Structure 1
Amino acid sequence: MTIKEFKLPDVGEGVAEGELVSWLVAPGDRVEEDQPVAEVETDKALVEVPSSYDGTVEELFAEEGEMVPVGDVIISFRVDEEGDAEAGASDDADSAAASDSEPDATADEADASAGDTAPDAEPAAESEPDTPSGRTFAPPSARRLARELGVDVAAVDGSGPGGRVTEADVRAHAEGGAAASGGGSDGDAPTPRPAPTDTGSGERKSAVSKRGSADSAAGAGGDAPEPAGRETTLATPATRKVARERDVDLDDVPTDETRDGEAFVTAEAVNAYADALESPAEPTAEPEPVDAEPADAEATPEPAATAAAAASGTASTERDGDETVPYRGVRRTIGKQMERSKFTAPHVTHHDTAEVDALVEAREELKPKAEARGVKLTYMPFVMKAIVAGLKAHPYLNSELREDEEEIVLRREYNLGIAVATDAGLMVPVVDDVDEKGLFELADEVNDLAARARERKLKPDEMKGGTFTITNFGAIGGEYATPIINYPETAILGLGAIEERPVVREGADGDSEVVPAPTLPLSLSIDHRVVDGAIAAEFANTVMEQLEHPLLLLTE
């Protein structure tokens, strides 16, 4: 029997890390090769991570919501020598007991390293009791804690929603069992059982580790604040990054704030605690004479109290109705892309309005034919064909400026990105070769890409290679905007809502009159380094001509 560790694979070109959104398995579950074990959100898409082994889940090394670098171990499996899956939970205990009698080299090293600190520790197999076949709902952290404390998670009464077992439930069950058995001898604190990762996992740490051990206690010295020593601490990825940079254990940072019943630590509290550790109070060389009585402990707070006060002050600020939302994944990617575009390309936006009576009539006439083919026909395919006509007439709007080479590339492909609003942010799937496709084909492809974008099922390749982008803010409401270019493209066209608005037309008697007519507001942003304002206006005129006379689209 061997332990196989599985690292987070490269889930997309150029992706360095991903947020582990949810685990699809739990320790003790049997999995097969290529079975999805986790959902990971990158800055490009939400993907499922498949297993590389047939076996039984041994340990989960990351919490849901944690940012995990590509290449880090996220899960381990128990497999036999041939790599086949184990028969079931009843065989797991027998196999683990047999492996204790003939441990492999890795297990010997782990046992040897653990021998100095816990010579009487029980084998890993004994610290993970058998679980009945019935399903027990518990997060990975609660299951790990149960194994560390030698608690059968199936025997714990869950207090969470739907009977979900929490870490507090596990600790309460363990303390109740210890009290019933009379506790340790001579009043000594019991030695914690080793986690399953102590065998066969080298120095890999579990997602939940016991606090208050020798390693955490050794970090403080002199007048440094005493660690809080919690079991679990919640924090945003930004706060965890600060903790790593300041070499601080989040479980040791004092805080009075909680989220979902668990301690919550902010970056400000981490910095305050780290400052207190780095600058402990030192006695002066020559104490000044004191006329009054010595101040008590409350008059001059210790660094730990200062850190706690800072954390408490921050917590009170954040509790005033504010909500903290992590800035990561697709949202962070959008922000970086918009920042790069806005601060790299000087934007100019040209506004105009097309009178689209004939377009509305053409769509209404074609809708029944589209429905007969199972296609929902919107205005977007018409606009896409009109844009291609404009790009062919004015190729500088279908270009890319390569600054390092000091050259402008005029693209001969017409790949249009369609901005789609999703719960995770704005995503831009790309429709390739628009000039080679018909209206119904474009409608079907756009509808498919938009649906899969909202479901986070787009492939990374489906969001690459665009030469021009369309954003339809009119679908939500509004007339004009100043769209930000999808860099390194050089132009983007924003569409307002098609509505009846007052327009001036020549009447039957030759006099001008104001009448209601359907119009389409257009907002064209350009990179002014590449495209002049006059060229932008000419492009808009070409697009409007195509939309106002849709029979011209038949030539595209």
Structure 2
Amino acid sequence: MTNTDLTTVTLPRLSDSDDESVIVFWHKSVGDEVKQGDVLVEVQTAKAVNEIEAPADGILTNIHIARGDVASVGNVLAEIEAGTSQSAGQTSETAKQNFVKASPRVRKIAKELGVNLADVSPTGPNGRPTEEDVRQFAEQPAETKTETSQQKHRVIATPSVRKYARSKGVNIDDVQGMGGNGRITGDDIDHHIKLKQSASLSDESKAISLSSEKDSRIEVEKMSITRKAISAAMTHSKQTIPHVTHFSQAEVSELVRLRHSWNETAVGNITYLPFIIKALVQTLKKHRLLNASIREETDEVVYKYFYNIGIAVQTEDGLLVPVIKDCDQKSVIGLAEELHELTEKARAGNLSAADMKDGTCTISNIGSAKGSWFTPVIHHPETAILGVGMIEKQPVVKDNDIVIGQVMPLSLSYDHRLIDGAAAQHALNDLKASLENPAKLFMELI
């Protein structure tokens, strides 16, 4: 038997703003033979579902992150071993022995009880542990569990990994290794810590959960994969970026008249968004910090001289953000056509990763839901997001007279690490002026 080469499959960065993805579906199982380019797994970010391919030929020996779980960029998703057909066959058998097959419910119970499935003696079909197996193991005295664990689990770990475990206060004998032949890695230590934390939180909430589920007025529903991805993205943005939001309003009677005249002559019905995009791009050209990003690992500011505007679109599965590229080079009609195409793709669930990457600033239009001012969440790593409310007739003062005007609410959230309050207000003032005087704004590329 020849020596085998191990190839790790890691989660790549699928977009500038997504640091985490949810595992949607594994196309291959442990022990399967794979070819380079085969689709191994589908993962979902807050934006889209992406396929990850096998980087090499071989046997899939380990799957580290199960369906429905969240993975961070750089996490090892799986391992592939390559070699002769003889070694591959033996590797396949070893992998099948090391990987514990169990239903999602059994895995959940094991997680809640802090049980390592590798230590459980299975009695279910095809050698799978059952719920009862897990509960019986959890009820055993600690001495019995230790004996069982030592009998079934020989620790394989490098000195550096053992040192890392000690630094984290982890007993390495309690850790399930997911590497070749059960080898324990630093990722396994981190995963073990997360399991313990989850079990602790589960114990605290168990009494509330049990009493709640008995109440017919309460319904408990598992988060969808899309919602879980959105949740991770929103949490990351709010935890990373110190948000500040400024509010204003624009009197857009001229814009209302301009749009009306366009729709009388143009094919189709152009919404206000293409006009707002052009006004925003003009503002970004003057206030470049709103079109920049922070490279956090090196404390650098990245200035971008292209204008890719993300548009938040509400779908049945949640909020998605397709991106219109190079908006400064497109006409109002061109923007309207691309906006319509991307919106339809979003609602049909057909957006690709390319449709949702490389945004530089985002617009969230709550006006379609009859909203006004709000505090939109910045689409990391962008530094600003514009919230637009519904245009309403309101009394305004013009030339010392009170008249009925068309008023558009504006909400600008920005990254206070990079943008100061006065700078943000100047940008919002310029945006307001552009929307209130659209004839000058749209003299070119209309």
In 2, the alpha carbon distance for the partners of 1:345 and 1:107 equals 48
Structure-2 change in CA distance of 1:519 and 1:273 (3 Å) = farther
CA radius of gyration, larger in: 1
The letter of the residue matching 1:362 is L
Out of 291, 296, 305, the residue aligned to residue 412 of structure 1 is 305
What CA distance in whole angstroms lies between the structure 2 residues aligned with 1:472 and 1:441? 19
Amino acid in structure 1 at the alignment position of 2:215: D
Q: 2:254 is paired with a residue of what secondary structure?
A: helix
1:440 to 321, 328, 333: 333
Q: Is the 8 A contact 1:474 1:496 kept in 2?
A: yes
Task: Pick one of 116, 132, 135 that aligns with 1:247.
Answer: 116
Mapping 1:393-404, distance limit 5 Å: 393-404=286-297
Residue 38 of structure 1: how far off its partner (Å): 10
Tell me how far 1:521 sits from its aligned partner.
0.2
Q: 1:550 aligned to 2:445?
A: no
> Secondary structure at the residue paired with 2:266?
helix
Taking structure 1 as reference, are residues 554 and 65 closer, same or farther at Cα in structure 2, changes over 3 Å only? same
Tell me what 2:44 maps to. Answer: 42
8 Å CA contact 2:391–2:407 kept in 1: the answer is yes
Gaps of 5+ in 2: 1-6, 28-34, 55-62, 71-75, 123-129, 146-204
Please state how far the C-alpha of 1:409 moved relative to its aligned partner.
2.5
Structure 2 residue 423 is matched with structure 1 residue 535: yes
- Is 2:215 the counterpart of 1:320? yes
Counterpart of 2:431 in 1: which secondary structure?
helix
Matched, 1:377 2:247: no
SS at match of 2:410: strand
Structure 1: 5+ residue runs without aligned partners? 1-6, 24-32, 52-60, 74-103, 111-199, 210-231, 254-263, 283-309
1:235 matched to 2:128? The reply is: no
Structure 2: distance between partners of 1:531 and 1:107: 56
- Over 3 Å counting, the alpha-carbon distance change for 1:459 and 1:357 in structure 2 is same
- The alignment-based identity, stated in percent, is 34
- Distance 1:336-1:17 versus aligned 2 partners, 3 A rule: closer
**Offset of 1:444 from its aligned partner?**
1.2
Counterparts of 1:11 and 1:453, CA distance in 2: 24
| Matching residue within 195, 204, 214 for 2:96 | 204
Give the letter for the 2:388 counterpart: L
The AA in structure 1 aligned to 2:213 is E
Note closer, same or farther for the CA distance 1:409–1:274 as it changes in structure 2 (3 Å cut).
same
CA distance in 2, matches of 1:534, 1:490: 15
User: Over residues 304-361 of structure 1, what are the superposed CA-to-partner deviations in whole Å (9 max), with x where a residue is unaligned?
Assistant: xxxxxx9899545324243434446433333333233223322221111111111111
State yes or no: 1:463 paired with 2:356.
Answer: yes
Contact between 1:390 and 1:539, CA under 8 Å: does it hold in 2? Answer: yes
Matches within 5 A, 1:132-281: 204=96, 235=105, 241-242=111-112, 246-248=115-117, 275-279=138-142
Whole-Å separation in 2 of the counterparts to 1:236 and 1:361 = 62
- Are the equivalent residues in 2 in contact too, given 1:419–1:427 (CA < 8 A)? yes
Give CA deviations for 1:28-77 in whole Å, capped at 9, x if unaligned. xxxxx9xx9999452242357999xxxxxxxxx9xx9655984479xxxx
Q: Which moved more, 1:312-321 or 1:486-495?
A: 312-321
Distance 1:422 1:72 in 2: 35
Which runs of structure 2 are paired with 1:70-85 in the superposition (5 Å)? Answer: 70-71=77-78
In proportion to residue count, which structure has more helix? 2
2:405 matches 1:512:
no
CA RMSD of aligned residues (A): 4.7
Pairwise CA distance, 1:462 = 2.1
Aligned 1:295-374 pairs, distance under 5 A: 314-321=209-216, 322-327=218-223, 329-371=225-267
Return the alpha-carbon distance in structure 1 between the equivalents of residues 251 and 331 of structure 2.
23
Residue pair 1:346, 1:527 contacting (<8 A) in 2 also: yes
Q: Shift of residue 457 of structure 1?
A: 1.8
CA distance in 2, matches of 1:16, 1:350: 29
Aligned to 1:494: 387
Structure 1 residues 203 and 10, CA gap change in structure 2 (3 angstroms): closer
Note closer, same or farther for the CA distance 1:48–1:530 as it changes in structure 2 (3 Å cut): closer
- Quick one: distance in 1 between partners of 2:67 and 2:296? 38
The normalised TM-score by structure 1 is 0.51
- Distance (Å, rounded) in 1 between the aligned partners of 2:265 and 2:339: 18
Q: Secondary structure of the residue that 1:358 maps to in structure 2?
A: helix
What amino acid sits opposite 1:246 in the alignment?
Answer: V
TM-score, scaled relative to structure 2: 0.62
Tell me which residue corresponds to 1:193. Answer: none
Q: CA distance change for structure 1 residues 466 and 16 in 2, over 3 Å: closer, same or farther?
A: closer
Aligned residue identity for 2:318: G
Letter in 2 for 1:320: D
Query: What's the secondary structure of 2:402's corresponding residue?
Result: strand
